[in-house]
Structure 1
């Protein structure tokens, strides 16, 4: 199983709620640069947070890759979701190669948990940073961090 984890691009600092913050023009450019690293990868599913900036990020990637399936929106990828919950949910996708589009602090803590078995060793993830994890099963401390790319 390959799991790519993409933090959303730069978002506007304010909106009525955090969930409604939209990507900036810079954020869209960052996402497209990260999407280029996904070209030719065997993605079978794009799973995203319901927050607007994550949905916009996922849609930009979907279009850039020519990915025809719909984006799967799930409640367990929001900024305050627990990394253990995400790993538990990923078990249902263990035979697939998935892209998760989410937020900090979740993405950094999730990578730390997956690779080191601890959320205390979080991976730094800037806006539109893209990480690739590989494993037979999505278990804490059992996944290998293959690559991290930061949008510049």
Structure 2
């Protein structure tokens, strides 16, 4: 199983609601650079947070890669989701090559938990950071960090 975790690009600081914040121009460029690390990889699906900045990030990735597979908005990829709760949804997925587009603190917590098996070592995920995790099974402590790319 290969799982990529992508934090959304830089977003405007304010909007009527946190979920409505849009990417900045700099955030769009960050995402394009992050997407370049996914070129030629066998993604099967993209799961994305319902927040506007994450949906914009996923769309930039889709366009940059020319990805024609499913891009699915899921309600559980929000900043405060518990990684254990997310695993209930991820365990139901059949894909072996999956990209999640989401937020801090969730993205760092999930990545750290999958690699270390505990929550005390979250992955450092700046805006548009991309983590690549590999493992035979998607379970806490059983994935390996194969790569971590931060925007320039």
Fold shared by both chains (TM-score > 0.5): yes
Taking the TM superposition and a 5 Å limit, the aligned residue runs for 1:111-126 are 111-126=111-126
1:79 positional shift? 0.3
The structure richer in helix per residue is: 1
What is the TM-score normalised by the length of structure 1?
0.97
Cα distance in structure 2, aligned partners of 1:103 and 1:77: 8
1:70 positional shift? 3.7
Cα distance in structure 2, aligned partners of 1:48 and 1:121: 24
Cα distance in structure 1, aligned partners of 2:101 and 2:123: 15
Residue of structure 2 equivalent to 1:42: 42
1:94–1:136 Cα contact (<8 Å) kept:
no
Consecutive unaligned residues of structure 2, counting only runs of 5 or more, are none
Cα distance in structure 2, aligned partners of 1:84 and 1:2: 18
Residue of structure 2 equivalent to 1:88: 88
Residue of structure 2 equivalent to 1:104: 104
Residue of structure 2 equivalent to 1:60: 60
Cα distance in structure 2, aligned partners of 1:46 and 1:12: 23
How many residues are matched? 152
SS of 2:92's equivalent in the other structure is helix
1:88 positional shift? 2.5
Residue of structure 1 equivalent to 2:149: 149
Runs of 4+, deviation exceeding 3 Å: none
What is the TM-score normalised by the length of structure 2?
0.97
Residue of structure 1 equivalent to 2:11: 11
Cα distance in structure 1, aligned partners of 2:95 and 2:65: 21
SS of 2:47's equivalent in the other structure is strand
Consecutive unaligned residues of structure 1, counting only runs of 5 or more, are none
Cα distance in structure 1, aligned partners of 2:23 and 2:10: 6
